Amino acid sequence: MKKILFISCLCLFLNQGSAKAQWRNLFDGKTFNGWTKYLGVPHQSNQGIDLPKDANGEYTKAFGINNDPLNVYSIVMEESQPAIRVSGQVFGTLTFMEEFENYHIKLEFKWGQKKWEPRLQMVRDAGLIYHGFGEQGSTDRSWHPGQESQIQEGDTGDYWPTGDVTIDIPAVKSDTSDWWFYHPDAPLRTQVFSNKMSERRIITDLEREKPNGEWNTVEVICSGDSSIHIVNGKVVMRLYNSRKIENGQPIPLTKGTIALQSEGAELYYRNIKIRPLKAIPKKYKE
């Protein structure tokens, strides 16, 4: 009942009030004003980079903040429109350094052709991190903590936690594997802290991604501690009780920054917009 009430009331607020709120462009089409670039530790397959290496030839230091000598993030014209090109050559994030709470974020993306180690033989990958917080590069030497709506070839809209965050998602375990799959009528499953990918990730089988090379629309709607992932106009996941873990204790995570990942694959982002929402009154979630 709680899930049904939340979705019904969110739709009501979108239709009656918040839908009238104006969209704000986070990307002006000309500059990275408002954005911070972060690049992590490059893969050893990258040659000629002026960063320290260990005895095994692996790099030991991240590029860091606003240090992008490889032009991983650039502004280009793509199909006569300005877009952000992410080469994917080094893992990292492009973060809009302003916190948002109760909002609707919307963007378009399409895949490029290039792929890089360590994901050269894997599906193309990236992601939209929302409710982001903490130090750049503090998670896996590449990201900062936050909730993620996955942007991955064939899996767009999946959930992944970056850092010490958790959330509850209606999901069932596969009969033939260790993977968990989103199902709107399933009991809520609390994400667990584990090094196993199958324990951390929730997969949606409501795949709506367009063929490679075409533009896709990704949206995340956040109200209070709940969120919705939308791909090309289709709701593919509903999430509840967002929280972060500090000193072993759960704390509600209802706001933060927005970030776009670079994760081994070339892709383009454009029309990055956000609008405020009215928070759903607490009584609707009890």
pLDDT, tens digit (0-9, with 9 covering 90-100), for 85-125: 999 999 999 999 999 999 999 999 999 999 999 999 999 99
| Cα separation, 182 vs 171, whole angstroms | 4
**Residue 62: φ, ψ to 5°:** -80, 155
Q: End-to-end CA distance of the chain: give it in Å, rounded.
A: 9
pLDDT, tens digit (0-9, with 9 covering 90-100), for 225-238: 999 999 999 999 99
pTM above 0.85, yes or no: yes
Domains of the chain (ranges; CATH) run: 24-45+57-253 (2.60.120.560)
* Both structure tokens of 125: 């990958």
| Cα separation, 25 vs 282, whole angstroms | 30
